[in-house]
């Protein structure tokens, strides 16, 4: 076994009357000893580190001391300390700055690959606790990459993705905002940032981000869908419908796009119903008022047109997925509002077959059965519609 030279043991003691004093050596002695420990067939990082730490204050201006400590911390996976010491070495004018760059690049790649591997394991993990642990591990690896080099955006996005999975949205927002500042034209970064802002309910900021995504790529369905939803949440139904219209016109609509636009039409029809009721009240007080009669006719006509559009969208959604229970329900409900009782009954009964305790479907069926004169069924449906 290799035996270290006695001169390599630097922190020597001299006992005088029970008092122990540390003996000091020139900086070169500490550094030479550390090099010897590091060059052994099995590097003795701990002994090398102790020697360098013993000389830390005395030899602080020595760039190589910090470089060697950085190497040791790199091997020991103490990324924060590695970055600190290599940074000091560079600042102190280390003679081989390319070596510092090489160490940092190597460690960055190592941490990024480890994070990527943890992500792959996360995808295949079947136990929740294991998946959560892997997500946290992946996030730590990518955060280490950021300590090494904060100018690359990929680790910000990857670390944020894992934090989002762990419901740490605020921390993810910090990382994504930094990534966005680094690459403000990257569509992937913009979309990730916007979705997290959406989840944080920062709707105005999210709208701005998704608007930028659409400016970069007018055909980006993810951005258009999120904008449509956000405008809806903000109560701007006109802009919301405009986004759904664009998706449908561009041939990018799926069942959910048709369903959501159908909901916008349905809400508009309900608003018209409120106006119709108000007009009816006014007309009841003055049945000969021609202006009220014309307004009533115009509102009813507009409502019928809107309901027809809602029916078309819900029908299309059901065509694309006949087992989408809520789409089938909304179609049945709109058909009821249009007075198409047989078609409405068919769809609403299908909903109750999918989910026996669908209260809203039974409530609508109560109305359908009553209008059809099926009073026994109406009573049964009414009972099932109650809590």
pLDDT at 111 over 60: yes
pLDDT of residue 119: 82
d(CA 20, CA 140): 42
In this structure, what DSSP letter does residue 23 have? Answer: P
* 7: confidence class by pLDDT, cuts 50, 70, 90: very low
| Mean local confidence (pLDDT), 363-375 | 97
pLDDT of residue 8: 37
d(CA 71, CA 34): 11
Distance of CA 247 to the CA centre of its chain: 22
Per cent of the chain over pLDDT 90 is: 78
Mean per-residue pLDDT of the chain: 90
d(CA 320, CA 318): 5
Question: Which of 242, 241, 246, 191 shows the shortest CA–CA distance to 213?
Answer: 191
pLDDT of residue 170: 96
d(CA 107, CA 275): 67
pLDDT tens, position by position, 11-35: 332 222 222 334 678 999 989 999 9
Give all domains of the chain, ordered by start, each with its CATH number.
6-95 (1.25.40.10)
Q: How many CB atoms lie within 10 A of CB 124?
A: 9
| Contact assessment for residue 358 and residue 352, using Cβ atoms and an 8 Å cutoff | yes
Query: Which residue has better confidence, 175 or 13?
Result: 175
| Contact assessment for residue 328 and residue 365, using Cβ atoms and an 8 Å cutoff | no
pLDDT of residue 9: 37
| Mean local confidence (pLDDT), 343-354 | 98
**pTM for this entry:** 0.75
Residue linked to tokens 């009816």: 280
Query: Which residue has better confidence, 4 or 56?
Result: 56
pLDDT at 335 over 90: yes
Residue linked to tokens 């659409």: 214
d(CA 264, CA 298): 20
Strand partners, 21: 14
pLDDT tens, position by position, 259-296: 999 999 999 999 999 999 999 888 888 888 889 889 99
Question: Which of 236, 238, 201, 231 shows the shortest CA–CA distance to 214?
Answer: 231
pLDDT at 114 over 60: yes
pLDDT tens, position by position, 129-174: 898 899 899 889 899 999 999 899 999 999 999 889 889 999 999 9
| Mean local confidence (pLDDT), 85-93 | 95
Nearest 5°: the CA angle 176, 182, 186 is: 75
pLDDT of residue 284: 87
d(CA 145, CA 166): 20
pLDDT tens, position by position, 202-228: 999 999 999 999 999 999 999 999 999
| Mean local confidence (pLDDT), 91-102 | 94
pLDDT of residue 23: 61
pLDDT tens, position by position, 186-195: 999 999 999 9
pLDDT tens, position by position, 52-76: 999 999 999 999 999 999 999 999 9
d(CA 309, CA 113): 52
d(CA 385, CA 365): 9
pLDDT of residue 283: 86
């Amino acid at each position: 076994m290799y035996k270290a030279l006695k001169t390599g043991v630097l922190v020597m003691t001299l006992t005088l009357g029970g008092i122990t004093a540390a003996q000091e050596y020139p900086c070169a002695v500490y550094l030479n000893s550390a090099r010897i420990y590091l060059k052994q067939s099995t590097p003795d990082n701990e002994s090398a580190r102790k020697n360098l730490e013993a000389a830390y204050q005395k030899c602080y201006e020595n760039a190589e001391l910090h470089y060697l400590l950085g190497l040791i911390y790199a091997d020991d996976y103490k990324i924060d300390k590695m970055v600190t010491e290599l940074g000091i070495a560079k600042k102190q004018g280390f003679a081989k700055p390319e070596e510092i760059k090489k160490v940092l690049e190597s460690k960055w790649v190592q941490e990024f690959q480890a994070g990527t591997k943890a992500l792959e394991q996360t995808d295949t993990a079947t136990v929740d606790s294991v998946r959560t642990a892997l997500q946290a591990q992946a996030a730590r690896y990518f955060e280490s990459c950021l300590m090494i080099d904060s100018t690359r955006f990929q680790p910000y996005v990857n670390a944020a993705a894992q934090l989002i999975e762990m419901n740490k949205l605020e921390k993810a927002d910090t990382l994504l905002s930094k990534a966005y500042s680094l690459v403000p034209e990257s569509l992937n970064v913009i979309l990730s940032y916007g979705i997290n802002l959406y989840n944080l309910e920062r709707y105005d900021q999210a709208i701005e981000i998704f608007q930028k995504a659409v400016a970069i790529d007018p055909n980006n369905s993810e951005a258009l869908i999120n904008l449509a939803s956000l405008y809806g949440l903000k109560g701007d139904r006109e802009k919301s419908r405009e986004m759904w219209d664009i998706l449908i016109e561009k041939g990018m609509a799926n069942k959910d796009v048709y369903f959501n636009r159908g909901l916008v039409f349905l809400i508009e029809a309900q608003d018209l119903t409120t106006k119709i009721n108000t007009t009816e009240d006014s007309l009841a007080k003055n049945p000969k008022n021609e202006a009220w009669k014309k307004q009533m006719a115009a509102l009813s006509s507009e409502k019928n047109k809107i309901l027809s559009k809602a029916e078309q969208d819900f029908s299309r959604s059901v065509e694309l997925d006949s087992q989408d229970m809520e789409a089938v329900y909304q179609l049945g409900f709109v058909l009821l509002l249009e007075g198409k009782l047989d078609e409405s009954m068919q769809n609403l009964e299908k909903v109750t077959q999918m989910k026996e305790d669908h209260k809203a479907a039974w409530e609508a069926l109560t109305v359908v059965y009553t209008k059809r004169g099926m009073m026994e069924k109406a009573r049964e449906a009414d009972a099932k519609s109650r809590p």
